[in-house]
Amino acid sequence: MVKERINEILEEARKDIESANDLEALQEIRNKYLSKKSELMSLMSALGSASPEERKELGQALNMAKGEIATLLNEKQEILAKKALDEKLKKEEIDITLPGTSYTRGGKNPFHVVTDEITEIFLGMGFKVAEGPEIEQDLYNFELLNIPKDHPARDMQDTFYINENVLLRTHTSPIQAHEMQASNGGPVRIICPGKTYRRDDDDATHSHQFAQIEGLVIDKDINIGHLKATLELFAKKMFGEKREIRLRPSYFPFTEPSVEVDITCANCDGKGCSMCKGTGYIEILGGGMVHPNVLKMNGYDPEVYSGFAFGIGIERVAILRYGIDDIRKFYQNDVRFLHQYRKKA
């Protein structure tokens, strides 16, 4: 009786396994025949109450049935797993002969190319990069740079005031004061690239927002020869070995003496052309020896320490470098403009 039932179960299991079409169905079949609650297993536990001969015979039959079912299940499992993988691979097949998706590569704005180049040149000379706030106190933008209230030099740098004492910085020079104070009367050698703001009518050469790189060196025995040598090296690295510089006397309230620095025109090699308006030179920056008042106000004894400072207009350098005719092009984000400079960069 029991033996027949075992054979029936075995027969049933063979059919079930044979017809299983996927791994899920196979798992159900495995549960049906081999789980603790399966009929085969309950027959197994019923053996305890059978006679010794019966137990031996039935035990063997049960074990064989169980073994065969397990083997059949495992074989089928392998077949179905392979089938599932094949189907998955087929579904995910990529047609490598299809044309790919093309992505347009962006171009670095020549403004940033030039900022990075200038920064690299000065890093190579041992300068460090410093930063300061764009929203600045009148104290740092003017007072500590020897431009007291009502000083006529303020007119040249009219700006956007947040309130009476807070404004958008008109130049990167306030970072000079911040850095001098932060170094507690010790040496300083920094450059500071950053945005600056002035109340200006925007045209081809003016913008209410532009950028500068400030430079400041403070130490014992610094003289104007250091300023000239530093800027000459910068000019040659930036514009080419053949470029010469010229220092012209100028005026800034925070430097004394003050200079404008010109380089020989790259277009005509200093002979005179339309680009340099016949002079052979193009102005690239302002600078000078740090004014004793500025040293004093920011914690230095001008009898012991001296220094030089300079300010470079970044857009101006980029315009000269790439022959760009309108400063506004830097800010418009027109890809046609950017792509032209991608190749050069």
- Residues at the contact surface with ligand PHE, assessed by CB under 6 A: 171, 173, 214, 252, 255, 286-288, 309-311
> How many other C-beta atoms are found inside a 10 Å radius of the C-beta of residue 62?
21
- Sign (positive or negative) of CA dihedral 310, 210, 192, 341: negative
Provide, rounded to whole angstroms, the least separation between the CB of residue 160 and ligand PHE.
16
- CB 174, min distance to ligand PHE, A: 9
Q: How far is the CB of 341 from ligand PHE (least distance, A)?
A: 26
* Separation of alpha carbons 335 and 337, rounded Å: 5
Distance CA 77, CA 74 (A): 5
- Cα of 154 vs its chain's centroid, Å: 37
Residue 270 CB, nearest approach to ligand PHE (Å)? 24
H-helix or E-strand spanning residue 33: helix 23-34
CB of 112 to ligand PHE, least distance (A): 21
Structure tokens at 298: 């920011």
Tokens at 211, concatenated: 């950028």
Q: Which is nearer to ligand PHE, 4 or 155 (CB)?
A: 155
Considering the complex, what minimum distance in angstroms separates the CB of residue 173 from ligand PHE? 4
At its nearest, how many Å lie between ligand PHE and the CB of residue 236? 21
Long-range contacts of 116-120 (CB under 8 A, 24+ apart): 117/238, 118/191, 118/193, 118/213, 118/234, 118/238, 118/312, 118/314, 118/317, 119/191, 119/193, 119/213
| CB burial of residue 32 (10 Å; 0-12, 13-18, 19+) | middle
Identify which of residues 17 and 327 has a Cβ nearer to ligand PHE in the complex: 327
CB of 16 or CB of 214, closer to ligand PHE: 214
Question: What count of Cα atoms within 13 Å lies in the side-chain half-sphere of residue 72?
Answer: 22
For ligand PHE, the closer of residues 148 and 323 by Cβ is 148
Q: Which residue is nearest to ligand PHE, using beta carbons? A: 311
Angle at 255 between CA 237 and CA 227, to 5 degrees: 30
Evaluate whether 132 touches 174 at the Cβ level (below 8 Å).
yes
Instruction: Specify the residue, 254 or 341, whose C-beta has the smaller distance to ligand PHE.
Output: 254
- Helix 335-344 to helix 110-124 angle (10° resolution) is 40
Q: Pick the closer one to ligand PHE by CB: 239 or 252.
A: 252
Least Å distance, CB 146 to ligand PHE, is 11
Q: Residue 308 Cβ, how far from ligand PHE at the closest point, in Å? A: 8
Q: Among residues 113 and 192, whose Cβ is nearest to ligand PHE?
A: 192
Nearest to ligand PHE of 111, 142 (CB atom): 142
Which of 171, 329 has the CB closer to ligand PHE?
171
Q: Name the burial class of residue 141, with classes exposed (0-12), middle (13-18) and buried (19+) by CB atoms within 10 angstroms of its CB.
A: buried
Sheet with 255-264, side-by-side order of all strands: 128-129, 188-197, 209-220, 305-313, 281-290, 255-264, 245-252
